[in-house]
Amino acid sequence: MEMMMSISWVGVMILIGMLCRAKIKPLGNILLPASVIGGLIGFGLMNANMLPQASSGMLTQAVGFLFTISFISIGLTGAPEGEGGAGAVAKQIFKGSMGMGFIWDMMYVITPLMGFFIILLVGKSFDMNPLYGLMIPFAFCQGPGQSAVFGGMIEANGWPDAVQVGVTYAAIGFLFAFGIGVPMAKWGLKRGLAKYSEKISDHITSGLFPKSSQEEHYGRITTYSGSIDVLAFHMGLVGLCFIGAVYMGKLLQLIIPGTVGDTFASMTFLNGMIVAYIVRFIMGKLNLLQYHDSALQTRITGWSTDFLICAAFMSIQVAIIGKWIVPMLIMCLIVGIFTLIIAVILGQRLGGDCDFERTLGLWGCLTGTCPTGIALIRIVDPNLRTTAPTEMGAMNVFMIPTYIFVPTIIGYTANPSMSTFNTILIVAGISFAIYFGCMIVFRLTGRKTFNLLKGQSYIKHNTSLTSSDSNNPNVLAD
């Protein structure tokens, strides 16, 4: 009952957020998603104990489940068709996912060192150990789900309140993601940086479409409802992949001993996406993909993203982290600014007609979660017609090697000595050099395709729409 009540309150907060965006014009003008508005309101109400039977612990668990569901749904979603045929699209997806993956890898290994030394400088007066600064990539690069999991491991090693510290980092990351990402998206729409840039209508700012403008269909009906509803079929596939992810984690624990095996087993979201790719491959071989609708699957991704973001804000407990909030904010601010600079500088040089969407998604992924990045992409590409959303899932393939860095940090928390810290420095330095070298070798640091500050695009977007899209007001639906 407590879990259901907690999730229900998340739904209520999203409804309140939707109404606030529709009725409060400044919120609509900045295109702030209803999930963020509702999450901030829910955060305040939760910490004021004004939501009966809502549990912060249950919400934290829900965030982890929703995080995994979103990744599974991404894995089950097919690549969009684009100009140039399937081969050209596949090539673009590979290049984009590789570039974004390498950038994510570099930030994952460099930001914990930044966090450690910043807390070392500013945390003494607040009695905050610099070790907590090492947790920043778990939050900014992975989100509240992994922050809670890895924070639990760190707490087990004798460091109190690590879970709440990690989840709070994640919440601050969400504020950075949307506080900067939403204005960036709006700027890109106005200046024509997005591939499908069009004028922002009143319907888009309010977030609601009147009946006369409701022309887009939710998805195709691929099953007879007297047997199984099409949504039930797609959710059944998600459930199948979730179970597969759990047992894949158990298998990894058996194959890989110690902390490394436990770490990879805990990454249910990654295992789930891998299982989803396998399921989709098998369905293709058995000619079953004709019953799967990627448009409907995308809506499941959107649902899980909205609920995840709102629940993450509501799960934060201010009472626990209040004593360290100043050094945490200082550290997050510095890391956030550095992350923004890197994301924009490298994102605009990946080489493609949707580099702006990639940069938005990358920024969201580097300060929140992959679904956060997709939420930002949805502002400029609501129907997910570019390859950027698919690349957000595929980039995880290039992120897998960096996960070996996690046991290095967890190991240091169990034995905080100079030798174990030197191991972190060596692994981080070598990893950063390898990933940056790969970006140069694979020509992912070429000429700019756009200039964010000047608001200029250096490529010509092919924004021709299909006949069904030409009169569709929902192409920029948030």
Main-chain dihedrals φ then ψ at residue 63, nearest 5 degrees: -60, -45
What is the 3-state secondary structure of 316-360? CCHHHHHHHHHHHHHHHHHHHHHHHHHHHHHHCCCCCCCHHHHHH
Tell whether 465 is covered by a domain: no
Does 356 reside within a domain?
Answer: yes
Q: Flag whether 477 is in a domain.
A: no
Report the distance separating Cα 201 and Cα 209, nearest Å. 10
Contact 185, 379 (CB under 8 A): yes
Range of the domain at 376: 1-79+92-209+229-457
Average of pLDDT values for 119-130? 94
CA triplet 300, 303, 304: central angle to 5 degrees? 90
Q: What mean pLDDT comes out for the span 267-285? A: 92
Tell me how crowded residue 287 is: count the other CB atoms within 10 A of its CB.
8
Q: Is the CB of residue 219 less than 8 Å from the CB of residue 231?
A: no
Contact indicator for 103, 339 with CB cutoff of 8 Å? no
Burial class of 285 by CB neighbour count within 10 A (0 to 12, 13 to 18, 19+) = exposed
List the single range of 65-74, 206-215, 344-353 with lowest mean pLDDT.
206-215
Dihedral angle over CA of 306, 311, 312, 314, nearest 10 = 130
Residue 440 inside a domain? The answer is yes
Residue 475 has pLDDT above 50, yes or no: no
Sequence-ordered list of residues with C-beta below 8 angstroms from that of 372, at least 6 positions apart, any chain: 143, 174, 177, 178, 305, 309, 364, 365
* Number of DSSP helices (H) and strands (E) in the chain, helices first: 22, 2
Residue 469 C-beta-side C-alpha neighbours within 13 Å:
14
Q: How far is CA 35 from CA 12, 20, 300, 314, 318, in A?
A: 10, 11, 15, 11, 20
Q: Which of 269, 258, 270 is nearest to 410 (CA)?
A: 258
Residue 159 lies in a domain: yes
Residue 113, pLDDT score:
96
For residue 99, the one-letter residue type is G
Task: Provide the phi-psi class of 295: left if phi over 0, else alpha when psi is between -120 and 50, else beta.
Answer: alpha
Strand, helix or coil for residue 457:
strand
Number of domains within the chain: 1
Determine, yes or no, domain membership for 469: no
User: What confidence tier does 441 reach under pLDDT thresholds 50, 70, 90?
Assistant: very high
Look at residue 102 and tell me if it is in a domain.
Answer: yes
Read off the pLDDT of residues 44-100 as tens digits, 9 standing for 90 and up.
999 999 999 999 889 988 988 998 898 899 889 876 555 555 667 788 889 999 999
Contact 448, 348 (CB under 8 A): yes
Residue 257 pLDDT exceeds 90: no
How many Cβ atoms sit within 10 Å of the Cβ of residue 252?
Answer: 18
Tokens representing 323 are 């004593």
Task: Please give the structure tokens belonging to residue 470.
Answer: 């030409």
pTM of the model: 0.80
d(CA 288, CA 478): 31
Q: Is residue 109 one of the residues assigned to a domain?
A: yes
43 φ, ψ (degrees, to nearest 5)? -60, -45
pLDDT value of residue 199: 66
Answer whether residue 383 shows pLDDT above 60.
yes
Is 335:137 a contact under the CB 8 Å cutoff? no
Q: What are the tens digits of pLDDT across the range 182-195? A: 899 989 988 889 98
Helix (H, G, I), strand (E, B) or coil at 456: strand
| Residue 245 pLDDT > 70 | yes
